[in-house]
Homo-oligomer: A and B are copies of this chain.
Amino acid sequence: MDEQEIVIGLVTISDRASQGVYEDQGIPALTAWLELALATRWKAVTRIVPDERAIIESTLCELADQIGCHLVLTTGGTGPAPRDVTPEATLAVADRELPGFGEQMRAVSLKYVPTAILSRQVGAVRGKTLMLNLPGQPKAIKETLDGVFAAVPYCIDLIGGPYIETHEEIVRAFRPKSALREKK
């Protein structure tokens, strides 16, 4: 087997979900979208954590450094409320931000709701791991992934990760010609 398995961290960030006050809807929504979109073999590593900056930071570091995730998707904690600290935690453990992800995720959500302005979500790189903050609502998760995932596989190429292929009827991974590999 020459094909590398993609490892994706899925992190729900929510005080209530982490206390079991209500059932997490974030990880199921992320999983459902990825199942449809990814043509390459992948596995998920999941975490449900409260809106505590130190816990979010250590969770992201564990997923990136110990588990070796190529991609980490978080859901929740990106609004203006005082308990929302996901973007701060993500940037604190990042080597560099990719500001286009935050801009474009907001621009995509803005087609649906004017309050998309309020999201502070970021995309950032830690080592060979791309980290993206997604909204908390399942509907908004799908809209956002539909809107930006086309750029994710090439980004993971560039930071040294595996070659990811997608089902084109869901999302067409875009790469410059020089970066394309032949289909298996």
Pick the most buried of A88, A102, A117, A123: most chain B CB atoms within 10 A of its CB: A117
Residues of B within 8 A of A154 (CB): 115, 118
The chain B residue sitting closest to A153, CB to CB, is: B115
Residues of B within 8 A of A155 (CB): 80, 115, 118
Mark each residue of chain A from 150 to 182: 1 if its CB lies under 8 Å from any CB of chain B, else 0: 110011001110000000000000111000000
A151 partner, pick from B103, B114, B160, beta carbons under 8 A: B114
Mark each residue of chain A from 139 to 157: 1 if its CB lies under 8 Å from any CB of chain B, else 0: 0000000001011001100
The chain B residue sitting closest to A127, CB to CB, is: B82
Whether B96 pairs with A104 at a CB distance below 8 angstroms is no
The chain B residue sitting closest to A117, CB to CB, is: B100
Whether A174 pairs with B96 at a CB distance below 8 angstroms is no
Residues of B within 8 A of A113 (CB): 174, 176
The chain B residue sitting closest to A97, CB to CB, is: B120
Mark each residue of chain A from 86 to 109: 1 if its CB lies under 8 Å from any CB of chain B, else 0: 001000000011111111101100
The chain B residue sitting closest to A105, CB to CB, is: B117
Known: A104-B110, A106-B100. A80 touches B125 (CB 8 A): yes
Kindly state whether residue A61 has any CB partner on chain B within 8 Å: no
Whether A100 pairs with B81 at a CB distance below 8 angstroms is no
Known: A81-B158, A82-B159, A159-B81. A100 touches B118 (CB 8 A): yes
A115 partner, pick from B96, B116, B117, B151, beta carbons under 8 A: B151
Mark each residue of chain A from 110 to 142: 1 if its CB lies under 8 Å from any CB of chain B, else 0: 100111111110010100001000000000000
Residues of A with Cβ closer than 8 Å to B? 79-82, 88, 96-104, 106-107, 110, 113-120, 123, 125, 130, 148, 150-151, 154-155, 158-160, 174-176
